[in-house]
Every structure is written in C-alpha cells, then in structure tokens.
Amino acid sequence: MSETDQAQHQTQPGKNDAAPGKILIVEDDADTNALIETVLDMAGFKCVQTYSAEEALQYLEQEVPDAIITDIMLPGMSGNSLCEHLKMRRRTNLIPVIILTALRTQKDKFYGLRVGANDYLTKPFKADDLTRCIRRNIERRNKMKEEGINRSIQIDLQSDLKLLDSVNELLTVVLQDTEVDELEAQKVKYAVLEMGHNAIEWGNRNDASLVVSINCHMTKDRLVFRIQDQGSGFAPGNLEHAATPDSDPAAHLSLREKLGLREGGFGILLSRKYMDEVEYNEKGNCVTLVKHMVPRNPPEA
C-alpha cells in the first residue's frame, strides 16, 4: 500500500489521541474492510487497512500494531499462514491476531487456533463483539508483557479448544521471557499440543469432567512442561500401535487398522524428536517434556 493510500485509510490525526490502540485490518473485500474500519473508528481505534497478507507483512516490517484482524481466504497468502508466520516470530508473536472469517465449522476454528490466532470470530459479525474481542485481547497482551522471567505457569483444562488457546499463550510467554530459538519454540508448541491431546483423548478418555494439568517452568537454561491427566496411565515402552524411532515409522498402521483405531500413532515419536527429554512417570499418566536452551553467547572454554 502506498503512503498516500495508507494516509487515506487511517483516521485523521488528532481524532485518536486517546485511541485505545492501532489495529491492522487484513481483508480483501473492500466493503467488509471499510465496514470493519468504520466500526473500529467509531470505537476509538486507529486503523490501517490492508487488502492482502503480503501487504500486511510489508506494513509489519516497519510497524507493530496493537492487534490484527484478518480474514482467512485472501488472494495469495492465506490469513492462517499469515497468523502462523507472525506467531512464530518473537517480534510479532505478542500482537493479538483475531481471525474474522465466513468459515464457521469447528474444524476451521480449530485450525485457526492451531496456527496461533488469539480469537476466532465469524461473519456476519456484531460491532460490539468485535470491539470487545479486540479490547479483551489487548488487555491480555498488556498483562503478559508486564509479567517476568523465571516463573511457573499452571493451567488446568478439559477440552482441545482450551488446550490450543493455552498452548498459544504459553508460546507467547516462552518467546517473550526466554531466549529460546524461534524454531525450537515452535517445536515445543507442537510437542505440548501432542502430549496435551493424548492426555485429553487417551488419558481422560475425552471425559469433560476430568482435568488435564499443564505446568510450565521456565528458567534461563531450560523449559520444562509437565502434563498430567487423571487416567489410569499406560506403558509407553510397549506400544505396538504407535511408531517407533528405529523401524519403518508407518509399520504400525496395519495393526491400527486391524484394531479399529483411527489413523495416527505418531504423537509420542514427534514429541521425542521435538524435545530434548520426554519422560513418563511410572504410572504413565504424567509426562515431562524438557527443552534445553543454548545460550546465545556460550562462555569461552
């Protein structure tokens, strides 16, 4: 977007002196884009309108807005890919991303949260819902900014949606408060998601009255996650229906089919690849994941 365009799309200077924040809109449909801008402008936000993910990325190279509202179906890069890209990077991870889309199935929402979106709204939207959602996410971001390093976080959850949301938040804290490499942080996210999902699905057998506890402890050297379910546990060393590191990783699939199990059997193997340590307790209902952090400037020998 040219500077003139940008100036045209922004609200007049002076009007937003007490603005609650600057919002980047990513929406290819000009009417919807204008509608979002009007709604946010009336609520006192300052808006920057872009019409593709690429245009938004260009803007984000120079500026850090207080929140981003993005559509999913965009020409070129999708809103989901934009979100994933921003959430992987330390510089942009903390910016709340709110997906505003016509895609309304649970699967779409899951995917949006999996790539790191802070919230997921569907069209047609109510002005109040959008502005409240933005405010809530900016407040949550501010709170996360204020808290410091060397801390423990304890989360209790019962559902996959809450798991996705919590793990996205953990990734933000990890990126902000530690020096972990961005790619390693992404691996941590997916390992915790796999193990959290196992705890809900296999440990608690999807029983919504049971709780999965995730404890995250961060120090300068290590990230430690403990994921505990309320199930009876299992023997992780003896799983014929799951992939093993030293044989054909798909060898177990025919057994799964015979047993009537859904496709899969890769979660534990993936987590072992992504983390430095994966240890189960004796019972098998609590797993500890550890990622060692390599100091940026290792001390000289």
Please give the residue ranges that form the binding site for ligand ATP (CB under 6 A). Answer: 194, 198-199, 202-203, 229, 231, 233-234, 239, 241-242, 264-269, 285
Q: What does the buried/exposed string (b/e) look like for 87-119 if buried means 16 or more CB atoms within 10 Å of the residue's CB?
A: bbebebbbbbbbbbbebeeeebbebbbbbbbbb
Q: Which two tokens stand for residue 247?
A: 């044989």
267 binds Mg ion (CB under 5 A): yes
| Residue whose C-beta lies closest to ligand ATP | 267
- Among residues 236, 299, 225, 227, the alpha carbon closest in space to that of 268 is found at 236
Q: Shortest gap between Cβ of 159 and ligand ATP (angstroms)? A: 16
CB atoms within 10 A of CB 256: 16
- Among residues 36, 71, 35, 65, the alpha carbon closest in space to that of 52 is found at 71
Q: x/- string (CB under 5 A) for Mg ion, residues 227-266?
A: ----------------------------------------
Q: Which residue stretches of 18-157 are H helix?
A: 30-42, 53-62, 79-88, 90-93, 106-114, 127-146
Q: Using the minimum distance from each CB to Mg ion, give the nearer residue, 125 or 266.
A: 266
289 binds, among Mg ion, ligand ATP, none (CB under 5 to 8 A by kind): none
Q: Using the minimum distance from each CB to Mg ion, give the nearer residue, 119 or 229.
A: 229
Q: Which of residues 187-216 bind Mg ion (CB under 5 A)?
A: 198
Tokens 């390693």: give the residue: 184
Q: What are phi and psi of 12, to 5 degrees?
A: -65, 145
Q: Using the minimum distance from each CB to Mg ion, give the nearer residue, 26 or 243.
A: 243
| Residue whose C-beta lies closest to Mg ion | 267
Q: Using the minimum distance from each CB to ligand ATP, give the nearer residue, 96 or 267.
A: 267
Q: Using the minimum distance from each CB to ligand ATP, give the nearer residue, 111 or 125.
A: 111
Q: Shortest gap between Cβ of 281 and Mg ion (angstroms)? A: 18
Q: Using the minimum distance from each CB to ligand ATP, give the nearer residue, 127 or 253.
A: 253
155 binds, among ligand ATP, Mg ion, none (CB under 5 to 8 A by kind): none
Q: Shortest gap between Cβ of 250 and ligand ATP (angstroms)? A: 11
CA 165 to CA 171: how far, in whole Å? Answer: 10
CA 257 to CA 72: how far, in whole Å? Answer: 35
- The residues binding Mg ion (CB under 5 A) are 198, 267
